[in-house]
Amino acid sequence: MDLLLALLDDFRPAAINDIDNGVIAYFGSASVRDDALAQLGSFELVDVTAEDVPDENWAERSQAALTPVTVGRLTIAPPWTVTDELRTSAPGPIIVILPSMGFGTGHHASTRLCLELLQRVPVRGKRVLDIGTGSGVLAIAARILGAASVVGIDFDPDAITNARENLELNKSPIGVTFVESDIQAHASGATGAYDLILANLTGSLLQREAGVIGAIAGSGSDLIVSGFQVHEVDAVKKAFESIGWQHEDRIESESWMASRFGKQ
């Protein structure tokens, strides 16, 4: 199953649901789905079928019921929930996130874990990179917590559009930039090292790109990673420790994990 999930990850599925003895993977286009079908169909132990499912605005319907989420001092809230009552009761800054195709409304455990660890490290004055920024929530949070500059990257143009919309909803904090790019391309054009790197990705992607992430991190920098599950902890930890990162902290929620590393 781990191998199957790793192979699926190469095709960037929009979502994966567990079922008995297998998974259902959803893709943004039929062509990408068919590429995955051809690849997985070549393995004897895997039975694969494909079908079209109607677009019924499932994302909009499910997200319309989202409520504010508070993690430490930060509250993540859809725009229609930001009332005077919420402003009075929130323990600190409110980050407005419009639910869209960009991952990161604060309701998934991996996002909350990142936000929690982000509030445990020194952020003020730091140069921050948010890899796989999605909705931009972590990038915006880092700037609100005092980062000098933040770059959020994502290979998905819809995510970047959503992140920029959210930046405007939060009165466009100066110093936050969103760029359509993957980590390989961004690293090749990076003009300097980052003091803090955030990466809420899959476990297999974190392991695969650990070297690239390490190459753009400055001495004494911090790294916060999430998006992997309990059974992947040792593999992710090994990938980063093998290139000089020191494991500093780890938290868990709903079988999801987040870790903080330091670079000496």
CATH fold of 104-263: Rossmann fold (3.40.50)
Confidence of residue 77 (pLDDT cuts 50, 70, 90): very high
Alpha-carbon radius of gyration of the chain: 19
Which whole number is the average pLDDT over 3-15? Answer: 82
* Cα-based angle 123, 128, 129 (whole degrees, multiple of 5): 145
Assess whether pLDDT exceeds 80 at residue 220.
yes
- The answer to whether the CB of 152 falls within 8 A of the CB of 126 is no
Q: Which residues pair with 22 in a beta bridge?
A: 19
∠ CA 223-96-107, nearest 5°, is 65
Place of tokens 């893709």: 27
Residue 107 scores a pLDDT above 90: no
Q: Where does the pLDDT of residue 241 fall: very low under 50, low under 70, confident under 90, or very high at 90 and above? A: very high
Contact call for residues 10 and 16 (beta carbons, < 8 A)? no
What is the reported pLDDT for 208? 96
- Give dist(CA 254, CA 262) in Å, integer: 25
* Tokens describing residue 35: 């590429």
Tell me the mean pLDDT in the region 128-150: 97
In the prediction, which pLDDT does 3 show? 80
Residues of the chain with CATH 3.40.50.150: 104-263
Q: What is the pLDDT of residues 14-67, one digit of tens each?
A: 777 777 778 888 888 888 999 999 988 888 888 899 988 876 665 566 566 689
Q: Cβ neighbours of residue 58 under 8 Å, at least 6 residues apart?
A: none
Continuous segment of H or E residues that includes residue 251: strand 245-253
Q: In sequence order, what are the beta bridge partners of 59?
A: none
Is the CB of residue 128 less than 8 Å from the CB of residue 196? yes
Distance, CA of 27 to CA of 39 (rounded, Å): 14
For residue 262, the cross-strand partners are: 222, 246
CA distance 204 to 169: 33
Residue 159 phi/psi, 5-degree rounding, is -65, -45
Backbone angles phi, psi at 78, to 5 degrees: -65, 150
Residues 6+ positions from 213 with CB-CB distance below 8 Å: 131, 183, 197, 199, 206, 223
